[in-house]
Amino acid sequence: MNSGDQIDVKESRVPVGGEGRLPAAPVTASGVLRRPERSETGVWIGIAAISMSFAAFTSAMIVRQGASADWRHFELPRILYLNTLILIGSSVTLRMACARLAFVAGLGSEAPDAARKPFLDGIYWMYVTAALGALFVVGQVLAWRDLVAQGLFLATNPSCSFFYVFTALHGLHLLGGIGGLTYIIRKLSKTHGTAHTSGIGAVSVYWHFMDGLWVYLFLLLAMRT
């Protein structure tokens, strides 16, 4: 290639998809290549650590139940069923928020009038997601109060201990997710949704993981306690 030759990037074609070809890269609404944020990588590392922790607690619970004669089964508080629906609903509202904010980010600053309504809608659904998360935590506290009213405390028996530990750890991690949502809302409000690295992808991954983790814990506790 001569030094005077020029490469027309727009005219170049790279095959995507299919065997032996490069996978399609994710793009924004405006066609700009989207690269994973550093915060997303950190979140995935955190998710791996959290998963291993809960897997260890699950193994300990199964072993303790099999080797213990004082394992007592009890009925889960009914509010946990409602809590599960609330957390699943929060994942739906977060997806709605991400879709609208992705559209705004794709527009950039080229069409502020067109971006105003989807931006406000996205922020609204972010607030709804955070509110549902807070409502879930309140529901967990009410579930604990229900057990206390039945005389079931942390040290009453092993099954109660694992219930309190699992729900408390999950609740603390979810509070971290609510804090992340609050930070993202403030950041997006300052930039009107045009920030190139808002961190919303990382928070979204974490939140959906917390949702899936709770469904797993709920089924585990329903079968084992």
The answer to whether residues 168 and 214 touch, using CB atoms and an 8 Å cutoff, is: no
| pLDDT tens sequence across 134-157 | 999 999 999 999 999 998 888 888
pLDDT of residue 110: 64
Instruction: Decide if 138 is inside a domain.
Output: yes
Instruction: Decide if 2 is inside a domain.
Output: no
- Quote the tokens at residue 137: 């935590």
pLDDT of residue 214: 97
Give the gyration radius of the chain's Cα atoms: 23
pTM of structure:
0.79
User: What is the average per-residue pLDDT within 79-88?
Assistant: 96
Q: Which of 160, 179, 131, 140 is nearest to 224 (CA)?
A: 160
Is residue 8 over pLDDT 50? Answer: no
Q: Which residue has the higher pLDDT, 97 or 11?
A: 97
**CATH number of the CATH domain containing 148:** 1.20.120.80
- Quote the tokens at residue 190: 């300052």
Instruction: Decide if 122 is inside a domain.
Output: yes
User: What is the average per-residue pLDDT within 173-190?
Assistant: 92
The answer to whether residues 24 and 17 touch, using CB atoms and an 8 Å cutoff, is: yes
| pLDDT tens sequence across 34-74 | 455 677 888 999 999 999 999 999 999 999 888 777 788 88
Instruction: Decide if 209 is inside a domain.
Output: yes
Instruction: Decide if 30 is inside a domain.
Output: no
Query: What is the total count of domains within the chain?
Result: 1
- Residue 40 and residue 43: Cα distance in Å, rounded? 5
pLDDT of residue 78: 93
pLDDT of residue 40: 85
Instruction: Decide if 191 is inside a domain.
Output: yes
Instruction: Decide if 24 is inside a domain.
Output: no
The answer to whether residues 184 and 203 touch, using CB atoms and an 8 Å cutoff, is: yes
Domain ranges, residue 175: 38-64+77-224
Instruction: Decide if 21 is inside a domain.
Output: no
